[in-house]
Amino acid sequence: MRIVALADIHGRSSIPAAVIDILSTADLVIIAGDITNFGGYNDACQIISTIKTYNESIVAVPGNCDRLTVNKFLDDTSVSLHERTKYIDTVMLYGIGGCATTPFHTPQEYPDKEIAAMLNRIEYHAKAKWHVLVTHCPPAHTRIDRTFLGLHVGSNAVRSFIETSGPDLVICGHIHEARGSDRLINTVCINPGTFPKHYAIITLNDTIEYELY
């Protein structure tokens, strides 16, 4: 399976021609939150509809800068992975949106205790070949949760869940400047950066292969 992973779109709907070609040839597009820039249902509709012009196979979680009506849009269009599980071929996808508490009081922030509860409510099955967790908030104390000031601002609950359940792949976002990858035990963790300037191409075959663009 060839996946294009996006995050932190923040309402930008103009997609360069070279990226359109990438989207069009993917088996699946995964969006790891902040689809809008403090927008709602109609704003999410505009962004997702634009991407669906090039690829109908999309799953997404909301970010902390998406209002709660974005969640409704994702549910209404069967795109949502927020506290959901989807199977595509041999891949099990599941996820949560929002982020850990910040000083900025953005629309979707949750205490780590609530993030842990959301993750634990997901129906997790071991039968798939690949298990892919999609979160907006990165796992704490990794290369992909560090701000410009060097502070680690990811979620301890997300990290604990990864260490306990051991997904093969985690796709997240949120910390724009922390674009990159890391590994927790055997889990590959990727923050693709802000779209459309940045994205990741991930291939699930016998192994996980990826490139950050």
Q: What is the largest CA-CA distance in the chain?
A: 42
Contact of 97 with 68, CB cutoff 8 Å: no
Please give the structure tokens belonging to residue 49: 């509809």
Q: Which domain holds residue 45?
A: 2-212
Contact of 129 with 91, CB cutoff 8 Å: yes
Percentage of residues of the chain with pLDDT beyond 90: 98
Whole-number mean pLDDT of the chain? 97
Task: Give all strands (DSSP E) within the chain, no chain letters.
Answer: 2-6, 28-32, 58-61, 84-88, 91-96, 99-100, 109-110, 130-135, 169-171, 180-184, 187-191, 200-204, 208-212
pLDDT confidence of residue 125: 75
At residue 160 the predicted structure's pLDDT band, cuts being 50, 70 and 90, is very high
Percentage of residues of the chain with pLDDT beyond 70: 100
Dist. CA 2–CA 199, nearest whole Å: 13
pTM of the shown model? 0.97
Contact of 2 with 199, CB cutoff 8 Å: no
pLDDT confidence of residue 123: 83
The CATH number covering residue 35 comes to 3.60.21.10
Domain count, the chain: 1
> pLDDT tens digit string along 164-194?
999 999 999 999 999 999 999 999 999 999 9
